[in-house]
């Protein structure tokens, strides 16, 4: 039952596309633990700049940065083994409990009440996303796209383009919500308007972006207004 009055397409987004880690749930902090544990297992310690560069990245990018940071050759077999171990470790940490980012649950409920379609668009693999969807509430999302289901993860636009395709909407008429440099770039390059709510790393301003400190208190009307501001900005 839509709680908002009917709107023209220009007034409200055709869909809201949500990033997961660092946007809906505070899971980047859990990734920090699993990445540190993986580094230790590989005989080293990950540097702070390397960890920051991994935020929002997919597994392949994360392992390339990690191996470079540790001074290890990018051996495919060793990286595959590290990916498997890191995924298992992250799954354990997710199972211990995912914390909401401030205002995220309320924002999901507000968009659901407005009747706008939603997608979850994450670089995280499907096997970790499924239990997270159970915790977040899979009923919020008409579709979900994971990092291992597209040719290129974020910062490539592929995950956002795929989500818009599955929803049957023009990506340019969507509002994406992102916390990272990597994710905001992906959404922007897909042509979406982007609400940036930084979590672990600062995100530069950019075309079709609006930035807020938190999702707390944002109503559907606020999100529609953010969408209109973002789409009114030059595309590049």
Binding site for Mg ion (CB under 5 A): 19, 21-22, 56, 179-180, 183
Give whole-number Cα distances, 132 to 61, 70, 97, 137, 230, in Å: 21, 30, 9, 8, 29
Residue 158 vs 179, nearer CB to Mg ion: 179
Find where tokens 């995220």 sit: 104
User: CA-to-CA distance for 188 and 179, rounded, in angstroms?
Assistant: 13
If one counts every other C-beta atom within 10 angstroms of the C-beta of residue 52, the result is 14
Strand (E) or helix (H) holding 82: helix 76-96
Find where tokens 């530069």 sit: 204
Q: How far is the CB of 186 from Mg ion (least distance, A)?
A: 10
Q: How far is the CB of 20 from Mg ion (least distance, A)?
A: 7
Residue 114 vs 203, nearer CB to Mg ion: 203
User: CA-to-CA distance for 84 and 146, rounded, in angstroms?
Assistant: 16
Residue 27 vs 173, nearer CB to Mg ion: 27
- Cα 60 to the chain's mean position, in Å? 16
Q: How far is the CB of 77 from Mg ion (least distance, A)?
A: 29
Q: How far is the CB of 119 from Mg ion (least distance, A)?
A: 14
Residue 89 vs 101, nearer CB to Mg ion: 101
Q: List residues bridging with 145 in a β-sheet.
A: 121
Residue 22 vs 191, nearer CB to Mg ion: 22
User: CA-to-CA distance for 178 and 57, rounded, in angstroms?
Assistant: 12
Residue 101 vs 208, nearer CB to Mg ion: 101
If one counts every other C-beta atom within 10 angstroms of the C-beta of residue 235, the result is 9
Provide the token pair at 195.
Answer: 């609400």
Q: How far is the CB of 208 from Mg ion (least distance, A)?
A: 18
> What strand order describes the sheet that includes 143-145?
143-145, 118-121, 15-18, 174-178, 193-196, 209-211
Q: How far is the CB of 131 from Mg ion (least distance, A)?
A: 17
């Amino acid at each position: 039952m839509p709680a908002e009055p009917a709107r023209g397409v220009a007034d409200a987004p055709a869909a809201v596309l949500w990033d997961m880690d660092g946007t809906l749930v505070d899971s980047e902090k859990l990734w920090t633990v699993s990445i540190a544990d993986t580094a230790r297992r590989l005989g080293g310690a990950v540097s702070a700049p390397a960890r920051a560069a991994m935020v929002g990245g997919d597994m392949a990018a994360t392992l390339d940065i990690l191996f470079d940071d540790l001074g290890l050759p990018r051996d495919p077999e060793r990286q595959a083994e590290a990916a498997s171990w890191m995924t298992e470790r992250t799954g354990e940490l997710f199972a211990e409990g995912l914390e909401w980012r401030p205002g995220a649950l309320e924002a999901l409920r507000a968009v659901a009440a407005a009747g706008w379609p939603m997608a979850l668009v994450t670089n995280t693999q499907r096997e970790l996303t499924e239990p997270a969807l159970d915790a977040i509430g899979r009923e919020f999302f008409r579709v979900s796209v994971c990092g291992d289901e597209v040719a290129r993860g974020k910062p490539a636009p592929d995950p956002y383009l795929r989500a818009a395709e599955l929803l049957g909407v023009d990506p340019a008429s969507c509002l994406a919500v992102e916390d990272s440099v990597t994710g905001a770039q992906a959404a922007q390059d897909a042509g979406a308007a982007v609400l940036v709510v930084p979590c672990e790393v600062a995100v530069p301003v950019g075309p079709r972006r609006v930035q807020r400190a938190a999702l707390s208190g944002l109503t559907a009307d606020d999100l529609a207004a953010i969408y209109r501001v973002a789409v009114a900005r030059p595309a590049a």
